[in-house]
Every structure is written in structure tokens, then in C-alpha cells.
Amino acid sequence: MTARTPEERHDGHRGRDGHGVPDGGHRPGGAGHPDSPPADGPGPLVGRSVPRKEDPRLLSGRGRFVDDLSEPGMLHAQFVRSTVAHGEVTVLDLDAVRRVPGVVAAFDAADLGLGDITARLHRPPEEFAETAMPVLARRRVRYVGEPLAIVVARDPYAAEDGLEAARVVYEEREPVVDEAAALADGAPLVHAAAARNTLVDVAPFATEGIDDVFAAAHRVVRVEARTGRQNALPLETRGALARWDDRAEQLVLRTCTQVPHQVRTVAAGCLGLDERAVRVVVPDMGGGFGLKCVVGREEIATAAAALRLRRPVKWIEDRKDALTASFLAREQHYDVRAAFAADGRILGLDADIVCDMGAYSCYPFTAGIEPLMAAAELPGVYRVPAYRVRGRAVTTNKAPSAPYRGVSRPQYVMVMERLFERAARELDMDAVELRRRNLITDFPYTGVNNITYDPGSYRESLDLCERTLREEGWYARRDAAAAEGRRLGIGYACFNERTGYGSAAFAQRRMDMVPGYDLAEVRMDPGGAVSVTSGTMSHGQSHETTLAQIAADTLGVALAKVKLHQGDTDRVPYGWGTFASRSVTIGGSAVRLAAERLGEKLRRLAAARWDIPWEETELHRGTVRRRDDPGTAVAYPELAALAHFRAHLLPKGLEPGLTATASFDVFHDGTFSNATHGVVAELDAETGGITLLRYVCVEDCGVAINPQVVEGQCRGGIAQGIAGALFEQITYDERGEPSATGFLDYKVPTAQEIPDITLFHLETPCASNATGAKGVGEGGTIGAPAAVLNAVNDALRATGTELDTLPITPEAVHRALHGA
Amino acid sequence: MSDHPPDLPLTEPADAGTDPALERQLLVLDVNGAAHEVLCEPRRTLVDVLRHDLGLTGTHVGCEHGVCGACTVLLDGRPVRACLLFAVQAEGAAVRTVESLSDGRELSDLQQAFADHHALQCGFCTPGFLMLAEGFLAERPDAGRTEIRELVAANLCRCTGYQPIVDAIHGCATARRAVRREN
């Protein structure tokens, strides 16, 4: 246990000047180079909030997002989309489209003849139903917004004109619009291959004798919770620009994706090309949050149109399509019971989880993404001795689901934290104290779910969060408010989050495509400057800065001497992109290992000059020096010039050039970040409105490579969690028509709704990777719904009503306060 | 498998460019202090002309219905949504975009404040917030944090949680006031 409280570090509030990671502590593998402050800086870069390399161009309007790119002779595409949720297309007539001024071509599925996008799990048929997602719907349509045809025109306005001229006749089928309808006896089938509209049905854990545990328990509490369907909502919608490059004999597909190599794999497969004949390039990307870590049908169709026409074709999704026809997430239903002993120990957990995954399985994760995550990880930070779970993915006539920041964890953490709050009421115990009695405190801990948790600061984070709110006087203010008839509530969420899933963890899901490892290449040019590639894909996370910090420290060079390259399948070895908070834990470790290997080459070059074993040298501030005589050193540029320009002088056994590659993977259960969120909410009795008065987050992501970036990830994540807790939802009517087609209907919180957030950083370094860092991209989003919901329920405590549904609407609060 | 794309009839599509049959207008726009002639359809929005006719791609498009504010530019000094204006409506006015904030080598104090406060992550909404703040601070140099938070609520950001944006604008305003007092 190496967690430390902020008091040990500085004044506690992680202010802008005080958030450097202190030295000392445990940094397995040593994230900072042992003795090499860069030539241009006062100390190691890791642990410092160095300015972002990304910022100057993004602040000056010189970022290059996909819609900022153009090509000579470029055409513009849009999609004819289904207007019915479920049916057969009996007529798809594009003749009038092709006559619209400015329209160049229109293609339907038959015109393009593309292969399907099929995501697979290697599970028996009773656990997984394989379904295919055609690039363009052939005859059957399964959701409003499903693409039927691509219209290509001289400008985007003409493409829109073209859409209006399409004639589509449907033979409608009864739509399946929710989980209950999907599972009903005799329900219409969304896919013939998915009996009972079930794509995934697993029961991975069932502790022997669990029914006896529940029968004998002092108290059993139950939570039935539902969470709304959300859009991850990157502010940049999806888009792609494709062209055939005759000289390279390659399709060049520039697209905003979190997973460039997976897009290449699918594009090649659907188009019948060798993978080498597809080059996926990712420009600056305006957010993704998971929505862009699956392969989209439209980017493949755009590529196909460019091939057919031998002209560059660009497609930029409009906001309506982004909201209704891209990928959604989070619509889940939990029915969970927890058994407790009289002293407050949790004895067992019995869960039934159903995730409404919409019309198709997303690639490469499949519709299992949500239920498999929830079923594996539900027990979380608590010592749960008995566990039974069934997790299902059902298919409905809605836009398909994809991963969204946190993936199921915002929901199951909310359910667990509701269970503890409810049990505390029934046991007449303090809910924080009840959590304390059940938190995992001895690490490593192997849970009933067969996961081994590495060390974290579960207890410490909870204590610090509660103490902060108590010392700030919120408990007294809550009680004083109650005396005045005002309704204040305090809520917590204590949770962990597996980050850096390696191949082993994904293989447990039995995915056909098993993500996990990452490859990095570090290259030094003849002048001593360093290029780094990583298979990860930044879309706001600051990798250009943080991965460069790691490489620069490892080699002992200035940050300005290091440049990161991502998002070009011709330049970057096969990688898995950015999702699941993997980039710094896994990608960063690969960068560090590759940089170490390059350092070894440099040391070998220098050692040969001195005729000593290379182990007797070390890297120091851009030089290699003798350990026995630190005054004798040779600078990198001299060694780099030797490696490139004077190969005839190279020592025997050393090849010209200075390039090193390394991979990193995790062959155990990964590393777990953790946090506690504390929220104070006030309810408006008249309107049911909810105001967040205070938000405190105590997080532990191990070594913070760049503390300011960590803070940014936490704050932004919390804002998205609040969005799901209080505001955002896409509902569907009985015909399967989505309710939200723009920002007037889909309520994205603004600066007026998101409160200031106080962050504390505890540090339990990861012992099993090369940087000590744990992932931090998703944690904020995971904790917020539970903490907000608990705070609202605390405020409602006098009413006897408890809410378990997200988003928490003012209507629901009003009803709870005033009865039906 | 062939290295060449399959199924290529090599259809020769009509040439790119605008259909001569379409009605077009000749506009003269004053953008970032320079006059630009643009020939475009009357329905073409200001943001499309800025981005695709003039190549000023720093202004972004997030929703095309005037809510997100990614396309915010200054029209005679006031922040406007460039997706809600036709280009023709900007004739006779001075348009300023994010490209005007600095010389491209050194950031302005406002831009630097955004960097210092980590007020941007993906950077897609950032030009809109910068222009919103640039116009606002010119009008309301004495604004406090509460007023600035109300201003920031005009636009959407999905990455930062807004607090750093409020801090950046507030920090910039505070620093400018200090400079004013010294002078």
C-alpha cells in the first residue's frame, strides 16, 4: 500500500501549482529516467504538467480534422436512410436521385456488392448468436436511420438534394422497441438467427449453495435499476475521406476512428482488397468516447464509392444522423439482490442483467461488450463471497450500441452503491461505514469472480472523500437545510475500474479479434531527434505529450526532441487503438520498453568506442557515459551520425540505423484504478430540479504521467457521468422512432449544469507495467451516476421514496416529493 | 488476391465543380481584415464559405442548428453562429475567425490562458469558445467568474467539464485588468 493522502503531499486541493507527483513512492520499472533531467528542463518530465504539444495548432485553428481535408476533384456523400424501424424494402428507386443537379452517382447494396461486417465471439450457440451487419441494408431494415444507399454529389448541398429524391417503399414489420418486447413470447425476431432476440446469454458465475446463503441471510435487499440510452456524443461527428492512390496501389481512407487498424481490416475484407492495399490515416479527432472505437458502415461505403468512381469521396455525418443513426449505448436493466449479515457483511450477490444492444453487434466487440463487462466485474471493490449472475444482450429495432466511456461500469457501480445504501437503511447503519466493513483492503485479492485485484486505495479514497465533505460542513448544512424544509442530500460512489485489459482479459470474453497488446517503435534520426510510433490513437487524451514524456525521460532527451506518430496504418505497426483506458498503461509501457531498447543500442555503440561491455555504460542527459568515469561521455548526435553515416566504422554485430520496437501486453487480470466520488445535491421542491452544490473526487490512477492531463480526464469524465445521471437520453416511441434528432431534444449539459469539481490524487503505482500508471480515461464517468443518484436519494430520504432509474428527471423527483 | 480494386468499370463521372445551372451570387466578404470575393449559391452558409471557399478551417461545425457553438465567429465584434447565417448576410460586416487571434507563431493571451488551464482536450469546440470569449471580453472586460460561467454555457464542450474553460477566460480577464491598472 503506497497510497498517500494529499495532506502528505501538499495542501490537499490539487491546485494548478501543486499537482506534481512527488518523488519517492514506488515506481516499478521507474517511469522517470533515474538520473537524467532533460537538457532543457529542470527535472524528469514524467509527473510534471508540461504544456501540451497539441495545443498551439488546436488553439490557432490549424488543427486538421477530417472535414478540414480536401482533395482535387473531391465529391461529397450522404446516405439514404431507413425511415421505418423494422421492415422489408420493396422498392428502392434511385433514378430520380441520379437526375438531381450536382448528383454524380447513387449506389445501393446491390450496386456495391460488399462483404458484411461480422463480429464474433467463440461461444456455443446458446451463449452467442452470430449476426451480420451489411454495409448497406439489402432488403431488411432494422432501425430508423439504417443506411440504404450512398449518394455522391459535387457538393454537400447537392448530396442533400439527392437524398430527397430517393423513393423507398417499405413493407413494415412490427418493431421490437424495448427489452420487454424483445423477450416476450412470440415476439417478432429482429434477426432470424437470434432466438428470443437474444444475442448473448451467459451465466459465468453461480456459487454453489448461493440459494442457501440468501435463505439464511439476516437481510436481503433488492435493486431494480434502469439506465437510459445515450449517445457518447463526440462534438466532431463521424466522417471519412477516401481515395484510390494509383501510385501506391492503395485505398487511402482518412477517417476519425479510435481503431485505425481494425478499420483497415474490415475495409479490406468488405472491399476484397489485401490489407496492404488499404491505408487508414487518422487526422486530428474531435473526441470519440467509444463511439469511434467500432467500425462504422458509412466509412466503408464511402471507401467503396471512391473505388467505384475513382474519385475522392468525403462523407461528413450531420448531427441528426450522429444522434439517431450512429452508435448508442448504456440502455440496461438490472435486477440484483444482495444478502447481508446482521453485522453488515455482504454475503452474496445475485444478478440478472439485460442490455438492450439495438439492431446489430458492433465490430470488433460484439453485442457482448456490455453484458460481459457487467457480469465479470459487478462485485467491484467489495468482498463478496457468493455470486450468481446472468448477463444478456438483446437485440431491438434501435440504432446499435457500441462501447461508451466506462462500458457498463457506470451502471453496475450505480447498482452496487444503491444496494449498499439500501442495506444501510434496512440495517440502520451508516452507509459509508457499511461500505468500509466490506471493502477489499488486503491486496492482491482474488474475488468470487476469479479476478485478482492489484493494490488500490479503496478504503483511503472513501475516508478522504467523506472527511472532506464532513470538514467542509456539508453534513451540518444538510441537517440545517432539512430543518428549514429544504432538501439536501449527500451521496457517494466507491469503485474500481479495470484498466489496461491485456490479451488475457479479452481472450476470456472469447472474442474472435483479441485486442490487448500494443507495439511501439522508437527511432532516432541521424541528428539525434526521436520519432515514436504507438498503436494507440489519441482523440483528446494528449498522447502527443504524455507518450513523448515517457520516451523523453527514458532516453534522457528534451521533450522537444520527441515526436509521436499515431493513426497511420502504413507508418505504425498493427495496434489496437485507444479504448478501455489502455493507452498509457499498455501503449505507454510499450513506448518505454522500445525507448529502453534504443537506449541499449546507443550504449552498445558507445561501449564499442571505449572497448568496454555495454552494461558498464549509462544514459545521461542526451549522452552515453562510462559508469566508471562519468566525465567520459559521448552525445547522441555523434552516435546517431555513426549509426547512419559511417556504417563502415560500426562495431561488429551492430546494424546501421537506430530503430527499436517493443510490445507490451498483460497476461494477468490487469491493473485497477479506483476512486470515490462525493456529491452534495439540492432538490427544488417546486420544480423537481436538481442542483449539484459540491463535487469531490478522490482518484487513484497510480503514477500520473501528466497531472494536469489526469485532472482533465477526471473532470471531463465526471461531466459525462453527470450528463447520463441527469440529462441525456434517447427514447423511442412505439413505432421505433427516436425522440431526439437535435440538441434541442437531446439535452447536453452546459457550464451552468456541471459544477466545479475538486480533485484529490492518491497514488498506488501499478506494479505490473513499465510506467506505474493505471488508466484514467473512464473513471470520472463511472463514478458520477452512482454518487449523484445516491445524493438525490439522500435528499429524498424523508419521503420514503427511492429512485433507481437514470436519467433522474425533475418529474421523477417531483413525484417522489409530492406523491403521484 | 489482386492488388487492384475489384469491380472497377472506370465510369467517368461529370467533372467536379458547381453545376452551371445553379443560381449563384458574387459576394464580397471582409474576413480577418481582408476582402474576399466568393461566388456561391444563395443558400450557402457563412461557415461553409469560411471553411470550404476561403480555406479557413479553424472554425468548426458541430450541429448545424445553432446550439453547440463550435462555429462561433465574430460579426462586427459580436459572437454569432456561423452555421445559422447565410454567407450573403455577412456582406458589409467585419468577420473575424480564430485564425485572426494570433500571428501563427505566438499565441494571444486568451489562447495561452486556454493552454495554461488545460481548457481544451480534443480541441474541436475550442475555436468557438475562443471567439465567444474574445467578443465577450471586449464588451465586458470587468466580468467576474459567475458571469463568465454564464457565457461559457452558450457553447458545448464534451471533453473538459467546462471548469477549465471558465478558469481560462477568467484568468485572461483578470490578467488584462492588471495590465490596465498598471498602465
Q: What is the pLDDT of residue B19?
A: 63
The class that CATH gives domain A31-47+517-664 is: alpha beta
On whether any CB of chain A is under 8 Å from the CB of B176, the answer is: no
Contact B65 A319 (CB under 8 A): yes
Q: Which residues of B touch A748 (CB under 8 A)?
A: 68, 156, 158
**210-249 of A, contacting B, C-beta below 8 A:** 233-237, 244, 249
B158 to A720: CB separation less than 8 angstroms, yes or no? yes
Q: Which of A715, A784, A204, A779 is nearest to A499 (CA)?
A: A779
Q: Mean pLDDT throughout A280-304?
A: 98
> Residue A35: which pLDDT band, with cuts at 50, 70 and 90?
very low
Q: Where residue A668 falls among pLDDT bands split at 50, 70, 90? A: confident
User: Could you identify the residue written with the cell 422498392?
Assistant: A91
Query: In percent, how much of chain A has pLDDT > 90?
Result: 92
Q: Which three cell numbers stand for residue A155?
A: 457538393
Q: What are the tens digits of pLDDT across the range B104-143?
A: 789 999 999 999 999 999 999 999 999 999 999 999 999 9
Which has more confidence, A530 or A2? A530
User: Cβ distance A696 to A604 under 8 Å?
Assistant: no
CB nearest B121 (choices: A101, A319, A716): A716
What mean pLDDT, rounded, does chain A reach? Answer: 94
Predicted confidence at residue A488, as pLDDT, reads 98
In A, which residues are within 8 Å of B41 by CB distance? 157
- Separation of alpha carbons A613 and A627, rounded Å: 11
| SS3 category, A435 | helix
C-beta separation of B78 from A84 below 8 A = no
Q: What is the pLDDT of residue B20?
A: 65
Q: pLDDT band at residue B18, thresholds of 50, 70 and 90?
A: low
CA distance A543 to A54: 9
% of chain A surpassing 70 pLDDT: 95
Nearest residue of A to residue B106, measured between CA atoms: A56
Sequence-ordered list of residues with C-beta below 8 angstroms from that of A287, at least 6 positions apart, any chain: A233, A234, A235, A236, A539, A540, B121, B122, B124, B158, B159
Query: Which residue among B67, B130, B163 places its CB closest to the CB of A744?
Result: B67
DSSP string, A604-639: HHHHHHHTS-GGGEEEETTEEEESS-TT-EEEHHHH
End-to-end CA distance of chain A: 50
Chosen for mutation from B23, B122, B130 (greatest number of chain A CBs closer than 10 Å) is: B122
CATH number of this structure's domain A66-173+237-285+292-324, picked from the four choices 3.90.1170.50, 3.30.465.10, 3.40.50.1000, 3.40.1170.20: 3.90.1170.50
- Beta-carbon separation of A236 and B62 below 8 A: yes
- Mean pLDDT within A166-174: 98
Render pLDDT for A544-589 as a digit per residue (tens, 0 to 9): 999 999 999 999 999 999 999 999 999 999 999 999 999 999 999 9
Mean per-residue pLDDT, A439-461: 97
**Cis omega (within 30 of 0) for bond into A785:** no
- Bond from prior residue into A134 cis (ω within 30 degrees of 0): no
Q: Does the structure's ipTM exceed the value 0.85?
A: yes
| Amino acid identity at A530 | V
Q: How many CA atoms lie within 13 A of A278 on its CB side?
A: 29
Same fold for the domain at A31-47+517-664 and the one at A332-504+668-818?
yes
Q: Please judge whether B153 and A750 are an interchain contact, meaning their C-beta atoms are less than 8 angstroms apart.
A: yes
Whether A260 shows a pLDDT value over 60: the answer reads yes
Which residue(s) pair with A680 in the sheet? A490, A694
For A372-387, what is each residue's pLDDT tens digit? 999 999 999 999 999 9
Count residue pairs from A and B with Cβ separation < 8 A.
222
Structural domain spans, chain A: 31-47+517-664, 66-173+237-285+292-324, 332-504+668-818
Fold classification of A332-504+668-818 (topology level): Aldehyde Oxidoreductase; domain 4 (3.30.365)
Provide the b/e sequence for A263-278 (b: ≥16 CB within 10 Å).
Answer: bbbbbbbbbbbeeebb
Contacts of A68 in chain B (CB under 8 A): 51, 57
Q: Please name the residues between 62 and 101 in chain A that touch chain B, using a CB distance below 8 Å.
A: 62-65, 67-68, 70, 72-75, 101
Task: Show residues of chain B in contact with A404, CB under 8 Å.
Answer: none
Show residues of chain B in contact with A56, CB under 8 Å: 107, 115
Residue from B158, B165, B166, B172 whose CB has the most chain A CBs within 10 Å, to mutate:
B158
Task: Report which residue type is found at A444.
Answer: P
Q: B44 at the A interface (CB within 8 A)?
A: yes
Which residues in chain B (82-121) have CB-CB distances under 8 A to chain A? Answer: 97-99, 101-102, 104, 107, 111, 114-118, 120-121
Domains of chain B as residue ranges with CATH: 25-100 (3.10.20.30), 109-182 (1.10.150.120)
